[in-house]
Amino acid sequence: MHRASNQFIAPSKPHLALSWTKRICLALSSLALLPTLPAQAAEQSVNSKISSVQVYPSGAEITRIAKVKLEPGDHTIVLGDLPAQAVPGSIRVEGKATGELKIGSVDSRRLFVAREDALRVASERQTLEDKIQSLKDHRDALKGRIEAAQTQRTLISNLANLPNRPTPPHPVTSPTQGEDWPNLLSFIGSSMGEISQSILDYKIEIRKVSREIKELEKKLSELVPRRKERTEVKVFLNAKTPLDADLVVRYQVRRASWTPFYDARLSSGTKTTPPKLELTRRATITQHSGENWENVAITLSTTRPKAGSAPPVLTPMSVDFVPKPRPQPTMAPPPAAEAMSMDMMESKKGAEGDGHRMAMGRAAKPRKRKLRAIMENTQVSTTPFQAVFIVPGKVSVASTGEAKRVQVSVDNLEPTLSVRTTPRVNPKAYLVATLKMPKGAPLMPGSVSLFRDGTFVGTGSLPLLAGDEEHHLGFGIDDLVRVRHHVVKDSKGETGLISSSRTQTRLYKVSLKNLHERAIAFTILDQIPVSKNQDITVERLGSSKPTKTDVENKRGVVAWEGTLKPDQEHVIDFGYRVSWPAAREIRYGRH
């Protein structure tokens, strides 16, 4: 049996032993001569500042800049001031530096951080707690005074019972002086009044102190240290030489938007002055991104990042006869088969749930993106596929959802004025300005406030309009164009020897008179019925032939156009006749 031993046994040959010792010494000396290995790059926390924001109809892209000084080697820059609402997949980092700089990777995560004003909050909290305790002590002292006053009132009230005390059974033989009951009762009455007033004053003071305590406790609850959720970004850098760098961080947030709206101010002009229209383009900006945009450059883009990147995909569509229903079995399925089908359904649901959870897990995991550092950026205001409006100056938008209204641009247009009327519905003429949109950026859909000669006349809406496209804007009733509408004939009849068909005839007369000092173009709109059955015929009547039919691709809508000179009147006669089988009934409706 061999005994275990921890003693090192050297080789038996002396030369082998010397060579082994020499080998160990050489290894130690070589390790001492090796250069010191660099330690892992330390993390450096850097603050960034919002420099610009590009707002979309839904969402926004934020640009932050962080300035750093770097020595040669690897560095890890930590940016912890991004909001929690930053979309992880949209975070990217670029850079400009005075030397060669490489960006290795970018990591992001969401975390909770303490409030930056923790020391101030702690000091304010201690002050409020001291005030609350002092007020509570004062309130307890007031309660003690009330108890003392109540005790004093009880003792004084007992004095009022002295005249009712019983006569002693053995009166004192020596003469005694009688009590002064009037003065005693007067003292009792005045004392009771003073004590009651004191108790009332103490109770009023207690209510006042209690209100102060409640207000201070409310403020104290608001100062409870809260953690806020933020997004942390780690940027791994490598600098070849000492340099100064500007790290540009871009990310998107969803809870932000801008909405266009317009002011259209029409100057109708005179007999010698042409009309003019000033179209002011404005925008309303709102955001709940979790951070305030303080004094930043803002641009408004027509791009919709969340509207999808590709058109929908169509799947093949077929048509076939409906299969005849098969007879259903009257017997219930065997229990084993039913249990098997239930198990299969449960396993399928479980698989679907696991897949969903795995997908959610993959989506929640922050992604790493490698981006190349760039030396310069080029700002583009417009492209063939979007329009970008640069808001002048610096703008601040709070993260409270309050609307920030800004002016984007002003266009001076030369409109063409005319009147349009639909006398069947309303015998009034409406002033209409035909605009030709300016070249360049399109007009986004939005509401428009209408002003005619300095007077607000209502609101309208603008659709999506491209440059050089025409659009009609109504500016209210024109009282200097008189419209009259008359029903000349509205009768029913029958035709044929044996009354095989029935008819209905309607004739109208419409007149327009221009009371302006200048000529004005007009458009009269009306309609005739459209038959939806070959047995129903519609015949247009009247001496005034429409200049347009099926206006704006609406069947049956007709229009008469022309120009009225000053004090000129224009009259149109039109109508229609509807015929249908006598055995049937008709009705008028919309289509």
Given this model, what pLDDT does residue 176 score?
44
Number of domains in the chain: 2
- The answer to whether the CB of 478 falls within 8 A of the CB of 427 is no
Exposure on the CB side of residue 179, measured as CA atoms within 13 A: 11
Q: Say which residue the tokens 């949209």 belong to.
A: 90
What is the per-residue DSSP string for 65-127? EEEEEE-SEEEEEEEEEEETT--GGG-EEEEEESS-EEEEEEEEEEEEEE-TTHHHHHHHHHH
In 453-568, DSSP assigns E strands to 455-462, 470-477, 481-495, 501-514, 520-527, 537-541, 548-549, 557-564
Q: Which two tokens stand for residue 318?
A: 């077929």
Q: Rounded to an integer, what is the distance from CA 313 to the centroid of its chain?
A: 30
What's the rounded Cα separation, in Å, for the pair 262 and 282?
A: 6
Q: Is residue 531 part of a domain?
A: yes
More confident residue, 467 or 103: 103
Q: Which of 177-186, 265-274, 514-523 has the lowest mean pLDDT?
A: 177-186
Which phi and psi (to 5°) does residue 161 adopt?
-90, 0
Q: What CATH number did the domain enclosing 204 receive?
A: 1.10.287
Tell me the CA end-to-end span of the chain in Å, nearest whole number. Answer: 111
- CA geometry: angle 366, 371, 373, nearest 5 deg: 140
Q: Which two tokens stand for residue 416?
A: 């063409």
- The number of beta carbons lying within 10 Å of the beta carbon of residue 266 is 26
Q: Is residue 535 part of a domain?
A: yes
Strand-pairing partners, residue 419, are 431, 522
Q: Is residue 391 part of a domain?
A: no
Q: Is residue 487 part of a domain?
A: yes
Stretch (H or E) spanning 336: helix 335-364
- The answer to whether the CB of 298 falls within 8 A of the CB of 391 is yes
- The answer to whether the CB of 591 falls within 8 A of the CB of 555 is yes
- pLDDT tens sequence across 221-264: 777 556 678 889 999 999 999 999 999 999 999 999 999 999 99
Q: Which two tokens stand for residue 178?
A: 């009688």
Considering only CA atoms, which of 223, 211, 217, 214 is closest in space to residue 118? 223
Amino acid at 307: A
Q: Which two tokens stand for residue 146?
A: 């009330």
- The answer to whether the CB of 522 falls within 8 A of the CB of 429 is yes
- pLDDT tens sequence across 144-168: 888 888 888 888 777 666 666 665 6
What's the rounded Cα separation, in Å, for the pair 129 and 127?
A: 5
More confident residue, 526 or 29: 526
Q: Where does residue 463 rank: exposed (0-12), middle (13-18), buried (19+ CB within 10 A)?
A: exposed
Considering only CA atoms, which of 545, 461, 478, 557 is closest in space to residue 513? 478
Given this model, what pLDDT does residue 165 score?
61
- 388, pLDDT greater than 70: yes
Instruction: Work out the pLDDT band at 32, boundaries 50, 70, 90.
Output: very low
Amino acid at 221: S
More confident residue, 441 or 177: 441
Amino acid at 90: S
Q: Kindly state the percentage of the chain with pLDDT values over 70.
A: 75
Contacts 24+ apart (CB under 8 A), 2-9: none
Exposure on the CB side of residue 184, measured as CA atoms within 13 A: 12
Length of the chain counted residue by residue: 591
In 203-345, DSSP assigns E strands to 227-239, 243-253, 256-267, 276-287, 293-301
Q: Is residue 214 part of a domain?
A: yes
Question: Computed from CA positions of residues 438, 441, 447, 451, in that sequence, does the dihedral angle turn out positive or negative?
Answer: negative
Residue where a domain terminates, one of 222, 238, 269:
222
Residue 106's contacts (CB-CB under 8 Å, 6 or more residues apart) are: 91, 92, 93, 233, 234, 235, 236, 368, 369, 370, 371
Longest Cα–Cα distance of the chain, Å, equals: 148
- The number of beta carbons lying within 10 Å of the beta carbon of residue 346 is 10
Q: Where does residue 300 rank: exposed (0-12), middle (13-18), buried (19+ CB within 10 A)?
A: buried
SS3 4: coil
* β-strand pairing of 481-495 with 60-70: unpaired
Q: Is residue 519 part of a domain?
A: yes
Amino acid at 400: T
- The answer to whether the CB of 397 falls within 8 A of the CB of 390 is no
Q: Which two tokens stand for residue 77?
A: 């820059």
* β-strand pairing of 416-422 with 426-436: antiparallel
Percent helix, strand and coil across the chain, each rounded to 5? 25, 40, 35
Q: Which domain holds residue 557?
A: 481-581
Q: Kindly state the percentage of the chain with pLDDT values over 90.
A: 39
Q: Which of 171-175, 376-380, 398-402, 504-508 has the lowest mean pLDDT?
A: 376-380
Residue where a domain terminates, one of 172, 195, 222:
222
Instruction: Work out the pLDDT band at 338, boundaries 50, 70, 90.
Output: very low
- pLDDT tens sequence across 504-525: 999 999 999 999 999 999 999 9
Residue 450's contacts (CB-CB under 8 Å, 6 or more residues apart) are: 264, 266, 456, 457, 458, 459, 460, 473, 474, 475, 476
Given this model, what pLDDT does residue 30 score?
38
Q: Is residue 79 part of a domain?
A: no
Considering only CA atoms, which of 60, 462, 51 is closest in space to residue 257? 60
More confident residue, 567 or 17: 567
Q: Is residue 35 part of a domain?
A: no
What's the rounded Cα separation, in Å, for the pair 234 and 41?
A: 12
What's the rounded Cα separation, in Å, for the pair 68 and 48?
A: 10
In the sheet that holds 569-581, the strands lie side by side as 481-495, 501-514, 569-581, 537-541
Q: Which two tokens stand for residue 303?
A: 């791009």
- pLDDT tens sequence across 534-571: 889 999 999 999 999 999 899 999 999 999 999 999 99
Question: Computed from CA positions of residues 161, 166, 170, 172, in that sequence, does the dihedral angle turn out positive or negative?
Answer: positive
Task: Answer yes or no: pTM beyond 0.85.
Answer: no
